[in-house]
A and B are shown apart, each in its own frame.
Chain A
Amino acid sequence: MANGVLKFLTSAVFSVTAMVSAAQAGESIVLASTTSTEQSGLFNFILPIFEKSSGIAVKVVALGTGQALDVGKRGDADVLLVHDRAAEDKFVAEGYGVERKDVMYNDFVLVGPAADAAGVKGAKDTADAFGRIAKKGSNWVSRGDRSGTHAAELRFWGSAGVDVKGQGWYKEAGAGMGPTLNMAAGMGAYTLADRGTWASFKNRQDLTIVYAGDPKLYNPYGVMLVNPARHPHVKKAAGEKFIAWITSPDGRRAISAYKIGNEQLFYPLSR
C-alpha cells in the first residue's frame, strides 16, 4: 500500500515535469538576466528568432544584476546577460564566468515629475543633475537592490559628491525597475531608469524624462558563460552557441530591429 502510494506520487511529480518540458522538447539553457531586458520586451522579440534557428530554448530568469551574478556563482544558470561592468569583470576574474563579451547598450534616463521642482531639465551634465536633486532635497526612489541600475546610480551620486546615506528624501525601494517606477510615479519622485524599461512602462502618471543624453549615462550589457570548470553541469555547447549568436551579425540585427513605437531600445555593440 505504502509502496503504491509512493509510486503514484513519484509518477505524479514526474508527469508535471514532463508536461512542462514536453512544451519545449529538445535542448534548453537557463539565462539569468536583468529585469530591464525582460520587461522591455526585448527577449520576447529576439529569443524566438534564436530558438527557431538553433532549436535551443532559452529560459530567462529575470533578476537584478547582483542577484543574477549570485545565481551564476551558485551554478543555477548557464549564461548571464547583465549590465554592471565592474561586477562582471570581477565575476570573470574570480573564475565564476568565462570571458565576458559586449552585446549591446542603451542608456539611463533620469525621470521625475513634469513640474521638475529641482530644475533638473537645465542641468549641464549628469553630476549636475544629481546635485540639483540633492540640493533641493526632492524625493528620490532608489532601486536599492544591488542591480546594475543601482550600481550606476550610486556612481552618479558619487560623482556629484553627494552622500545619500540617511537622507530623508532618499528612499530605497529594494525592488526591480518596474516597482521602483511605480513608487516614483505614486510619490512624484525622481529616479534613474534604463530606457528600455521606461519605454515599455505604462503607469507613468505625472512622470517624464527630465534628463538624458549625457554620454556618462551609457549602459552597456555583457554576456558570459558560467564557468563549466567550476560547475560541470553547465550546458557549455548550447550556452556558447547562444553567446556566439547574440554577438553575431544575425543577433545584432535582431537587437536593432526591436522597437517600441518608433523607438529603438537597444543598440548592438560591434566588436
Chain B
Amino acid sequence: MNGLSLAFSEAFSLLAGFDHRVAEIVLLSLQVSGLAVLFGTLIGLPLGACLGVGRFPGRQVLVVLLNGCMGLPSVVVGVVVYLILSRSGPLGEFGLLYSATAMVIAQTFLVVPLMAAIARQVVEDAWRDYEEELTAMRFRWFDSVRVLLHDCRHSLMVAVLAGLGRAMSEVGAVMIVGGNIDRSTRVMTTAIALETSKGDLPLAIALGTVLLGVILLLNAVAYVLRQWATRRYA
C-alpha cells in the first residue's frame, strides 16, 4: 500500500505548485480562526485572570466548569450556534448562517473556555508568588488582574497558541454553521472532510499536511517573537 507516500508527494506538489484555490482556503482558515482567537484573547484571558485572582463563593465550581468546557465537543457548539443563527432562531433576522461571520462566532465559543482555563492556571500560579507584594502595595484585585496579565504575557502565549490550534483544527462547528460552501465558507478542515468523503484520501492527507504546515509555521513565528521579546525586554 503506497497510499501515504502518494499523499506526501501530492502534498508536496500542492505546495510547490502554489494552487490558487488551496491558497484561498488557507487564507479563509487563517482569517476565521485568527479572528476567533483574537476574540478569545480579549474575552478569555481577562476572564481566566479574574477567576485566577478573585476569591468569591462558587469560584471552585466555576473553575471545574471552565476546565470541563475545554473538552466542549465542536459539533455541539456547531449545533447550538446553528440553532441560534438559523432564520427560525433568536438571531435569525441577521441572516448570518452559512457565512464566515457565523464560523467566527462558533469558533469563539470553542476557544474562549480553553483560553480562559489556561489563563486561569497561569495567572493563579503567578498570583501565589505575588499576592503578598501586590496586597502590600494596596492593589485592588482589578489592578492585580491587569498587572498579572501583563506580567504573564509570555506564558499566556501558550493559551493563544492552544486556542489557535483548536480553532484551526476543528471541523464540527464550521461544517454546520458555515456549510462548507465552495469559494465562500470552505476552510482547510471542511475541505479535508469533503475530499475524504469523495474517497480521495491522498488529496485529503495532502491538505492535512498543508494545514499542519501552516499551524507549525504560526507556532514557529510565535516562538521566535517570544525569544526576541525576552531578549529585548527581560
Contacts and interface: CB of A to CB of B under 8 A. Distances in A.
Interface of A: 5, 9, 12-13, 16-17, 19-21, 23-24, 30, 35, 39, 43-44, 59-62, 74-76, 176-179, 181-182, 185, 200-204, 231, 233
B182 A12 contact: no
Interface of B: 28, 31-32, 35, 38-39, 42, 86-89, 92-93, 95, 97-101, 104, 179-185, 194, 196-201
B39 A181 contact: no
Nearest to A198: B199
B199 A181 contact: yes
Contacts of B104: 13, 16
Nearest to A182: B199
6 contacts: A9-B42, A21-B99, A23-B183, A30-B98, A30-B179, A179-B196
Given A74-B88, A233-B95, A62 B180 contact: yes
Contacts of B181: 30, 59-61
The 3 closest A-B pairs by CB, nearest first: A178-B197, A203-B199, A75-B87
Given A75-B87, A178-B197, A182-B196, A20 B100 contact: yes
B198 A19 contact: no
A202 B87 contact: no
Contacts of B179: 30, 59, 61
A35 B38 contact: no
Q: Tell me what chain A mostly uses at the interface: helix, strand, loop, or mixed.
A: helix
A35 B197 CA distance: 9
A201 B39 CA distance: 40
A61 B99 CA distance: 11
Contact of B31 (A9, A19, A24, A60): A19
A74 B100 contact: no
A177 B92 contact: no
Given A59-B179, A201-B198, A17 B38 contact: no
B35 A76 contact: no
Contacts of B86: 74-76
B31 A59 contact: no
A179 B183 contact: no
Contacts of A12: 35, 38
Given A5-B42, A59-B98, A39 B88 contact: no
A201 B199 contact: yes
A248 B39 CA distance: 47
A178 B199 contact: yes
A35 B199 CA distance: 13
Contact of A17 (B39, B92, B97, B101): B101
Contact of B98 (A5, A16, A61, A204): A61
Nearest to B31: A16
Contacts of A5: 42
B200 to A, nearest CB: 5
Nearest to B83: A74
Given A17-B101, A59-B185, A62-B180, 11 more contacts: A12-B35, A16-B101, A39-B198, A59-B184, A60-B181, A61-B98, A74-B89, A76-B97, A179-B197, A231-B87, A233-B93
A84 B155 CA distance: 55
A16 B31 CA distance: 7
